[in-house]
Amino acid sequence: MSFQIIGTGSAYPAASITNDDISKFVDTSDEWISTRTGIRSRRLAWDETVSDYAVHAAQGALENAGTKPEELDLIICATARGEFLTPSLACVVQSRLGAGCPAFDINAACSGFLYALDAAEGWFARGRASRVLVVAAEQMSELVNWNDRSTCVLFGDGAGAAVLAPGEGLQSICIHAKGSTEELRIACAQGNSPFAKPRENSPFLQMDGKGVYKFAVSAMCHDLEQAIEQAGLSQEEIDLVLPHQANIRIIETAIHRLNIPAERYRTNIDRYGNTSAASIPILLDELNRAGELRPGMMLALTAFGGGLTSGACVIRWTK
Ligand code: ACO
């Protein structure tokens, strides 16, 4: 027994910050950011915490699914860093929803939603769950260096969620990791042990943009091909592709290499930037609420990011 998606939700901070807003205090321009990345604005937290919008996204998904918090058997949160190191973001969400089920976090950076779906599938396969809530939420604005124009312009804050129930929606899923600290890393805060040698580590996200770009294009093409083949489908049979929203040029390069018509790819990077693990479920919720998803449609989801991690899946929409 696998799962189907029966509800989606999303939420983000209130403030929408444009490229021109950022250009006022960072040496950059709307022209550079929009042509190099496709980003025009992003949501950035002011007084909201990542838990706040994670909970709002979860409540939206539960309402959309007609599910009560007490019906949940499991909550998985995908996040690079919740509001606290402990309790996990999933435990904070569980408490604020008033649920009583087990809850844990998964950190697979931008691929976190795919990793969480894969973990959830195991719970359904073992008959352990009939309702699982997956929430992906990130506050990237706290992790980037706002003096580094090559990274701070790329990211945004937000959360997306999905409620899963037993069913035959998931057709295939693959996840991968190629462990490396070279292309992308964010150091943990150091303690103040008088017995430990201080490490020279920037507390901010550090990224080799070109290295990630190369990995992203090849992972996206490889993983989509693999997931579609495992689902027993041809690329032409995919109705919609929901790619991780990191850079429009990565998506365009993949479009040229694959055989899925360009008009089947969906993007919202122009409005949210890269929200890491949250980007795919935010896009899924937008499409669901816009009425773009019809029962029987084959959706291909694909993500890549820090780790380096990647993954893809094919889901038959049943709602
Ligand atoms: N504004 C203006 N100029 C800039 C900016 C900026 N914001 N950032 C960099 N530049 C300059 C550079 O200084 C450089 O100038 P120079 O030629 O005088 O040295 C020039 O622009 C070109 O810089 P590049 O780094 O070569 O630009 P590139 O075309 O490679 O684009 C980018 C950079 C957008 C980061 C791209 O490499 C990319 O998208 N990489 C993938 C990132 C990604 O997908 N991350 C996802 C994972 S995130 C996660 O997992 C949490």
Could you tell me the CATH number of the domain that includes residue 292?
3.40.47.10
Q: Is the CB of 238 under 6 A from ligand 1?
A: no
Placement of tokens 């779906």 in the chain:
117
Among 127-141, 188-202, 204-218, 255-269, the range scoring the smallest mean pLDDT is 188-202
Q: What pLDDT, on a 0 to 100 scale, did the predictor assign at position 194?
A: 87
Q: Are residues 194 and 283 in the same domain?
A: yes
pLDDT tens column, 257-268: 999 999 999 999
Q: Are residues 197 and 212 in the same domain?
A: yes
Instruction: Name the closest-CA residue to atom 38, ligand 1.
Output: 209
Q: How far apart are CA 242 and CA 265, in angstroms?
A: 6
Examine the pLDDT at 187 and tell me if it is beyond 80.
Answer: yes
Q: Are residues 159 and 216 in the same domain?
A: no
User: How many domains, in total, are found in the chain?
Assistant: 2
What is the amino acid identity at position 279? S
Q: Are residues 206 and 119 in the same domain?
A: no
Q: What pLDDT, on a 0 to 100 scale, did the predictor assign at position 198?
A: 81
Q: Are residues 151 and 29 in the same domain?
A: yes
Residue 192 appears among annotated catalytic residues: no
Examine the pLDDT at 201 and tell me if it is beyond 80.
Answer: no
Q: Are residues 290 and 235 in the same domain?
A: yes
Q: Is the CB of 305 under 6 A from ligand 1?
A: yes
pLDDT tens column, 271-301: 999 999 999 999 999 999 999 999 999 999 9
Examine the pLDDT at 188 and tell me if it is beyond 90.
Answer: no
Per-residue pLDDT, averaged over 117-137, amounts to 97
Q: Are residues 266 and 212 in the same domain?
A: yes
Residue 249 is part of which domain span?
A: 172-316
Q: Is the alpha carbon torsion for 279, 281, 287, 292 positive or negative?
A: positive
Single residue among 168, 197, 218 that ends a domain in this structure: 168
Mean pLDDT of the chain: 96
Q: Is the CB of 216 under 6 A from ligand 1?
A: yes
Q: Are residues 260 and 285 in the same domain?
A: yes
Closest CA relative to residue 278, chosen from 159, 144, 147: 159
Q: What pLDDT, on a 0 to 100 scale, did the predictor assign at position 197?
A: 85
Q: Are residues 78 and 159 in the same domain?
A: yes
pLDDT tens column, 55-91: 999 999 999 999 999 999 999 999 999 999 999 999 9
Q: Are residues 262 and 138 in the same domain?
A: no
Q: Place 117 in a pLDDT band, splitting at 50, 70 and 90.
A: very high
Single residue among 135, 168, 201 that ends a domain in this structure: 168
CB of 251 closer than 8 Å to CB of 243 = yes
Single residue among 168, 191, 207 that ends a domain in this structure: 168
pLDDT tens column, 23-32: 999 999 999 9
Percent of the chain with pLDDT over 70: 99
pLDDT tens column, 142-177: 999 999 999 999 999 999 999 999 999 999 999 999
Residue 152 appears among annotated catalytic residues: no
Q: Are residues 163 and 198 in the same domain?
A: no
